[in-house]
Copies of this chain bind each other. A is one copy, B any other.
């Protein structure tokens, strides 16, 4: 529950401690995103001296955050470089409360989902219930983890507007949550430090770090499930959050004069015009999962459905066009049923994007499906818990399992 988006006080001076922390942090960040890297890669990427990298890596190894391994003799002249990997013993828990279920996952420091539990609920859980479910699932998972495992903390992805400073859900319409201090609740259940953020925002981070948007400095992410359209944006490598943390609500941008209304009461927004429920109705597929809907969309021959999809594609393209004009990103990543309709007729979407953005904005723009699918939100949520660790490897506590269960 510390301040996560530490504001990057640009007027702060730097001293020697900062250097060390910064350099340790950069190595951890590279390993987090890149998995296993050779020491020589670290030297070339960071521009630091061999001896310095050696020193830093040794310190990280002593902290238990990384492991070194013999070089794999994979071509190249000269002595093989040692490989460095993020420790397999460090994990974080990801929590994702949704309308019909609460999901918890164990995610490793290298961004892999080790285990996953889904707890279905009849109706949307109240914050306390969700916290209790999450707590129980986490306690169950802890028992199954190897004893050497250490935990960075818990990251919670919530479909709503979050005050990330103290982990309070200000408003989550689909869950019917208002001013819910979910971080504190889960922290009380588990004894583990807990961070919360918007589900689309963390998914965007995941796709940027591990998925389609890998390496992009400017990336727009659009994600749609039963709860409308969420969005995330990376600008100059930094997640856009806004002054109060309520930014990048890309589903609620107004793109039309239409009187159709979205979940927040706004008319003519992207979310109002590109609605999953409309598609479900066209297919008479009430209560279907994203996968079922995806199959239906890709196979349909129904002219009415096709017309609806095309209309949605036109609207989606307009929304993407607006975002491209504003952000000029390298890539736009689509997830959920937005991806389904994109795959149905890519050219139509791209044509709409071109018609509603400047040439300079859509020239070279890549529109792409998300690689991570439903894993994105969990990997991204876990990233919230890893963030402090990566930012200050030597000054952040990692919890042992014994300590947790007490």
Contact = CB atoms under 8 A, between A and B. Distances in A.
Interface of A: 7-8, 10-16, 18-19, 22-23, 26, 29-30, 45-48, 52, 161, 170-171, 216-218, 233, 235-238, 240-250, 252-258, 264, 266, 318, 321-323, 325-330, 355-358, 360-361, 363-364
A238 B240 CA distance: 11
B15 A357 contact: no
Given A11-B29, A258-B257, A235 B235 contact: yes
A170 B12 CA distance: 37
B241 A238 contact: no
Contact of A249 (B47, B247, B361): B361
A355 to B, nearest CB: 8
A21 B230 CA distance: 41
A246 B11 CA distance: 28
Number of chain copies forming the complex: 2
A46 B10 CA distance: 9
* Chain A, interface SS category: loop
A11 B23 contact: no
Given A358-B246, A358-B252, A10 B318 contact: no
B13 A23 contact: yes
Contact of A243 (B242, B256, B330): B330
A326 B253 contact: yes
Given A8-B236, A255-B255, A255-B322, 13 more contacts: A10-B29, A13-B22, A14-B19, A15-B48, A218-B247, A236-B240, A242-B328, A247-B361, A252-B325, A254-B322, A257-B258, A323-B326, A326-B326
Contacts of A241: 236, 328
A8 B237 contact: yes
